[in-house]
Structure 1
Amino acid sequence: MSHPQMPKQIQDANIAILTCPFEPPKPKTKHKVDIDTIEKFQTLHGSPNVMSWKQRVQIGYDAAQGL
């Protein structure tokens, strides 16, 4: 689980124990999506699944996890 550049010891490390999977949601369809305007991108980017994922990442970032 380590590599040569990884420090051997870490002081004051914070470790998060997750009770749910921490991965982006998979698309519910296998269709091709064509985005050719900024409005289509903003509609897709503001969907509930994307916002939920961003909130989960922000919570982890705000907790200032060391590992």
Structure 2
Amino acid sequence: MGKKSRLKPPKSCDSCGLEADTQFRVRQSEADEWRIVCKACQTLAKTRDGYMYGGTWKRKKRN
């Protein structure tokens, strides 16, 4: 028997609204809330001071 499919519904980017299979948890400072953003918005956020990476969300898990 194979493992169950671990495919989750897609999430939309908190900045631009784009749905993607891989999203990133980021915030701009200690006082800000965590946001789930797409790769393009993460790249933009990296250029700002106070950027913090909080993990990667993937629609399809490996196991």
Higher strand share: 2
Q: Same fold (TM over 0.5)?
A: no
Q: Structure 1-normalised TM-score?
A: 0.23
Larger radius of gyration: 1
Q: Structure 2-normalised TM-score?
A: 0.24
